[in-house]
Structures are given as C-alpha cells and as structure tokens.
Amino acid sequence: MQEENRSTNIFDSSYILHFLYRWWKPLLVIEIVALVASSIFSLPYFITPKFKSTVILFPTSSNSISKALISDNSGSTSDILEFGEEAQVEQLIQVLNSDEIREKVIKKFDLIHHYEIKTAEEFKNTALMEEFNNNISYNKTEYMSAEIDVLDKDPQMASDIANNIAALVDTVKNRMQKERAVQGLKIVKEAYFGLNKEIKVLEDSLKILRKLGVFDYESQSEVMNDAYAQAVASGNTNAEKMLEEKLKILAEYGGAYVSIRDHLEHEKKQLSELKEKYLEAKIDAEQMLSNKFVVSKAVPAEKKTYPVRWLIVIVSMLSSFLLAIVFIVAIENISKINFSKFDHLRESTKQ
C-alpha cells in the first residue's frame, strides 16, 4: 500500500515541485554546462555552416514541338505556354533524380574534392552519394512546381550548382526525347519515301496506258460506244473499224487503268497524311524546345541556413534536463530498495 502511494506521488505536482526544489542546484549546473557546451560545439569551428540556394521550376504541358505548334489535329494540339500538371511535375522530379544529372554535376564541380572525400577511401562513391543526397534535394511544392534546394559551405557554389541542375533538365530530357524522335523519324521517312516510289511506279504505268490511248475509261467507253452505234447505223465502215480497234484497246486495258488509277488516288491520300507525319517527326528530331519555366533562379545566400544554433542550444538543454531527471529518479529509487528482503530470501533458499 505504501509503495502504491509512493508511485502515485511521483506524478503529483507537489512531489514534482518538491523534487525540483531539492535538486535545483545540480540541475542548474547541468543546464549551464549544456548551454555552454552546445554554444561552443555549434560554432563554425566544429560544425561547418552551410548556405542554401533554391531554384523553382514549373514543367511545360507539352513535349512535342510539332503537336504544339504545327499540328492541324485539334485533339492533339496543346499550348506551349501552359504550365504542366501533377504528372508533369512528377516526371520533372524523376529527371532531376536521374544518374545523368548527378554525374554531370559531380564532374563539373569536382564534388569529390569539394566535399573533401579521400579518393583512396574504399567506399568513396558511397560517401560521395551520401554527401550529394544530404546537400541536394528536389521537392514538389503545393503549387505544382519543382524546387531544387542546394546546401553548401560556399554560397556561390550552392547557387551555381542549383542553376546548373536547372539548366541540365532540358539537356537530359531533350536527349531522351530526341533519341525516340530520331527512331520515329527513321520509320516515317522510310515509309514516306517508300510510298513515293510506289506512286512513281503507278504513275509510270498510267503513262504507258495513256500512250496506248486509255485516258479516262468510263467517259471514253461511253463516247466511243455512242460513236460506234452511230457509225453502224450510218453504215460508215471506216469509222466503225477504227472505233472497233479503240474499243478493243479499252476492253483490254480499261480494267487495269481503273485499278491503277483508283489505287493511285488512294496512295496519294496516304502520302499526304504520311508527309504531315514525316514533317512533324523531322521537327521533333531536329528542333528543341525548353521543357521548363524558371520562376526564380538561385542566388548566393547572405545568411547561413545550417546549423541553427539557437535550436541546437534549446534541444541540448532540454535533452540534458530530461536525462538528468531520469538519472536522479533512478538513483533515488535504487537507494530506497530494501536489500534486507533479498538477503532474507537468499538465506531461506540456502536452508
């Protein structure tokens, strides 16, 4: 019963006040030590201050230059001035996290030496990646934009890295899109020029048939049949024989003429559509358009962002205060343990 009262008294406000009153001197000393220690160890000599630079980007809504600028298909056109939505932001974040951008930045700014990583170290690449990820981050904002944050001990370096990463977005994304666009252009180009050759063969075939006297099968047949009937009716044998020869030619080559003509008309329609696709693919493969809107470029910071000394001091003092209380309570409870009960219990087990 006494033990229960003692445990409930621990959480009683009067007990807490009494406890603090009894131990205020040691606690004060501990807090002063924590204040001095945290103030000293948060100095630039112990923790290198870092400066933060930020670039804010909006992705574009369109990826294809041809569809955005010259396509006649209203369902596929898009406004090149329109900001992208959430899907485009996620894609932009993925591009920013690409190995290509990371490697280019590391190489250009020689980050392995800038971060003071020993090249002879066994896990130098792992250490480099950890430093890179700790100092450079990409985030999606609530306004559907992408934010590039760079921390560095040199404010100018932080600014240069952030702006360089923003510039590399177009380099990397255009490179990926161009690879696919070039493949698409090759396919469309082969189809377009292949169809051109086929049309040329059909046109040559029609020229041969025209030389034989087949110009327009339907109208010629109608006119010649009428003329032949009149020649027969009038008894004009010369005209009748001449028309018979021409009708034989029409009968022999007329079907081929109609087939080739209709096929040529269909192929020319296909060629017109294919030509539009060829021009679009050519533009996408040869031209480049920015994939981002830069809202704000990075500038060298005037004040350090890390470390926040006042926060370190407050957290250190609070942590030391709580640990001191836990330690003192533990000492008090240990001192109140009745070891005579354990001695009596040990004696009884021996017997």
Q: Are 65 and 284 in contact (CB under 8 A)?
A: yes
Residue 66: pLDDT band (50, 70, 90) is low
The DSSP output letter for 12 is S
**Higher pLDDT, residue 247 or 118:** 118
Q: Which residue has the higher pLDDT, 63 or 32?
A: 32
Give mean pLDDT, residues 235-259: 76
What's the pLDDT score for residue 54? 94
What phi and psi, each to the nearest 5 degrees, are found at residue 11? Answer: -95, 5
Is the model more confident about 199 or about 83? 199
Whole-number pLDDT of residue 3: 47
Q: Are 85 and 174 in contact (CB under 8 A)?
A: no
Q: Looking at residue 34, what is its pLDDT? A: 81
The model's pLDDT over 31-58, given as tens digits with 9 standing for 90+, comes to: 888 888 777 766 666 667 889 999 999 9
Q: pLDDT digit string (tens) for 106-117? A: 999 999 999 988
Binned at pLDDT 50, 70 and 90, residue 13 comes out as low
Q: Which amino acid is at 284?
A: D
Rounded to an integer, what distance in angstroms lies between the CA atom of residue 326 and that of residue 6? 17
Going from the C-alpha of 344 to that of each of 43, 97, 337, 349, the distances in angstroms are: 57, 69, 14, 9
Residue type, position 117, single letter: I
The model's pLDDT over 146-184, given as tens digits with 9 standing for 90+, comes to 999 999 999 999 999 999 999 999 889 888 888 888 888
Q: Which of the two residues, 145 and 70, has the higher pLDDT score?
A: 145
Measured CA to CA, the distance from residue 329 to residue 316 in angstroms comes to: 20
Lowest mean pLDDT, pick from 67-81, 178-192, 226-240, 261-275:
67-81
Q: What are phi and psi of 86, to 5 degrees?
A: -60, -40
- On the question of pLDDT at 77 being above 80, the answer is no
Kindly report the pTM of this predicted structure.
0.66
Q: Mind listing the pLDDT tens digit for each residue in 295-340? A: 989 999 888 876 766 777 788 888 888 888 888 878 777 766 655 5
pLDDT of residue 73: 54
Cβ(157)–Cβ(109) below 8 Å:
yes
Q: In the beta sheet, which residues pair with residue 53? A: 150
Q: Which residue has the higher pLDDT, 349 or 146?
A: 146
